[in-house]
Amino acid sequence: MLAYQTFGDTSAPPVLIAHGLYGSGRNWGVIAKRLSDTRHVVTVDMRNHGSSFHDATNGYDDLAGDLAEVIAALGGPMDVVGHSMGGKAAMMLALTAPQAVRRLVVGDIAPVTYTHSQMQMIEAMRAVDLSAVTRRSDATAQLADLGVDPGVCAFLAQSLDVEARTWRLNLDALAAEMPKIMSFPTVETQYEGSALFLSGGASDYVLHEHRDVIRGLFPRARFARLPKAGHWLHADDPRGFEATVRAFLDAPGA
């Protein structure tokens, strides 16, 4: 089963957070702690990430099954928040196991195939000379020298086990499964529950033309945008992200 952390009173309404590609549950610690004042928050490490198991597959059927297993182990349906790759996994969970999802929040991703690739990040991480790394900043500096954006350098470096001098990412599996990660499975069902698609005003991941595809799978979808945020909603505008998610999850009959 996936590794996970919990925050808040276990008797409070539960919400599970699924991170994006190359991330981990620890990226969501600040948001999780803030939401835990009124909720029992669960942050997972997706397969091939963080402290979770490594596997040769990383398709959305697999990721959705992993989330369903955690939810079942912790006692039943939850609100589910997913960002980027985690957002696609959360969508797949809602479509294939709707009984596990009370309300759904999808952060800056659509159920479509994207033409850009994230292979350049894998190539950069592979190029880091881990034998020369004694501090996380050493890896950050090497990534910067390789042309990685400074903000992304810090994000990637969070997935480095400095003591073991190894990445907490299954880079080989993620590289092999990249076509699946960038796409979305064909699904014939719909999720009839409440769903919020929250995008960044400075991001081009969720376009207006995606809305018909989204509504075809999620007929009760609502749309909101954080004007000051890019793709990394929770990092670019954490207060705005938190407030929007709270309002949606707490609304009666959403």
Catalytic-role residue among 84, 159, 194, 203: 84
37, 145, 172, 250: which is the annotated catalytic residue? 172
In the annotation, is 84 catalytic?
yes
- Tell me the three state secondary structure of residue 14: strand
**Where do the H-state alpha helices sit in the chain?**
29-35, 60-73, 85-96, 119-127, 136-145, 150-157, 171-176, 178-182, 211-217, 233-236, 238-250
Residues 40/12, Cβ–Cβ less than 8 Å: yes
Q: Mark whether 172 is an active-site residue.
A: yes
Catalytic residue among 40, 49, 83, 231: 231
Q: Which residues of 20-44 are buried (b: 16+ CB within 10 A; e: fewer)?
A: bbbbbbbbbeebbebbbeebbbbbb
Catalytic residue set: 84, 172, 231
